[in-house]
Amino acid sequence: MKTFSFMAALALAAAGTAHAAGDHKHDDHVPRHGGVVVPGKAADFELVAKPDALQLYVSDHGKPMDLSKASAKVTLLAGADKTDVELKPAGDKLEGKGSFKVPAGTKAVAVVTNAGKTLGTARFTLK
């Protein structure tokens, strides 16, 4: 009986180790482009804010999305300054170019539409 219990415990321990070493996707919300990531119900959003461009990457929880018919309106709030920016498709992202105040702590709200339907709203705090 002791041998059976020992073998059962050993098998259980080996199964737990194999499960822990499996391919887990815990990095779905890690910035892939150097921005700030916000998960949403329909999609995940990553905002990359530079003084000369705003880029919004949208993915279906880690999988690429067709953004050819997408757009976004981003509102930047930096201190007392408020700026609205329209983002248009640019390859694998939505992008707007211009001159933007984006110091650390800037708040951003993005409303994203795709094919005429609202995909989601994301709120960011820039680092």
Q: Model confidence over 60-75: pLDDT tens digits? A: 988 989 999 999 999 9
CA 103 vs CA 46, 61, 76, 114, 118: distances in Å: 17, 28, 11, 29, 28
pLDDT (tens digit per residue) in 66-119: 999 999 999 999 999 999 999 999 999 999 999 999 999 999 999 999 999 999
If one counts every other C-beta atom within 10 angstroms of the C-beta of residue 17, the result is: 9
Confidence of residue 23 (pLDDT cuts 50, 70, 90): very low
Given a cut of 50, whether residue 18 has pLDDT beyond it is: no
> What's the CATH architecture for 26-125?
Sandwich (2.60)
Q: What is the pTM of this model?
A: 0.76
Q: How far apart are the C-alpha atoms of 107 and 48, rounded to whole Å?
A: 13
Q: How far apart are the C-alpha atoms of 29 and 64, rounded to whole Å?
A: 14
